[in-house]
A = this chain, B = another copy of it.
């Protein structure tokens, strides 16, 4: 019954990275009781646009893609989430996007009503949420900057660099860069076709800007 132990949060591998870091021992123990760990297989939709918010989620490991649907009902990926990221907050009642697993994912799930109780007792959590939103905003602007690059090659190279620096922020080596998501998701994120992305990889390889260990493990030269 590892799921229900009261010191789950004390040993949490991502605690330092998220809002929980502002809680003291007692509050953390309290949170532990509300939190549940859940594992999802790849290609599972965790939450959907428009559905009422029931829980907030922290990623313990694995990768998730976040997307919206445009007017034509096509998927538009707006971000990739990694361990230490959380989602399901700041949407005023309803989720504003879809979240789908790319790999197997282990999540920490906290029911929204329980969470709101913690929030009342620890108003500083709100500051953490505000900071997280500001961070999301700067990531969205980074995305915009990539999307306005003129060539597909630049977009793909910037994407690889972005994932590399993300690895860096998580305390992992910047090389090799692991592109766990399929090429099609990269293409979607960059506003390109997967064939174009594939060709960009080939060109970047030819220019020796990158090397490929495997098609998901890239070395930035």
Contacts and interface: CB of A to CB of B under 8 A. Distances in A.
Nearest to A133: B133
A136 interface: yes
Nearest to A97: B141
Interface string A117-149: 000000000100110011011101101110111
Dominant SS among interface residues on chain A: helix
A83 interface: no
A134 B76 contact: no
A32 interface: no
A78 interface: yes
Contact of A130 (B126, B143, B149): B126
A206 to B, nearest CB: 22
Contact of A76 (B70, B140, B144): B144
A126 B129 CA distance: 12
A68 interface: yes
Contact of A141 (B92, B130, B140, B191): B140
A96 interface: yes
Contacts of A91: 134
Tell which of A68, A96, A140, A148 has the most Cβ of chain B within 10 Å.
A148
Contacts of A96: 138
Given A76-B148, A133-B137, 17 more contacts: A68-B145, A70-B149, A76-B145, A78-B141, A91-B134, A92-B134, A96-B138, A126-B126, A129-B130, A130-B130, A133-B134, A140-B140, A140-B144, A143-B144, A147-B148, A148-B191, A149-B191
Interface of A: 68, 70, 76, 78, 90-92, 96, 126, 129-130, 133-134, 136-138, 140-141, 143-145, 147-150, 188, 191
23 contacts: A68-B141, A68-B145, A70-B149, A76-B145, A78-B141, A90-B134, A91-B134, A92-B134, A126-B130, A129-B130, A130-B130, A133-B137, A136-B137, A137-B137, A140-B140, A140-B141, A140-B144, A143-B144, A144-B147, A147-B147, A148-B188, A149-B191, A150-B191
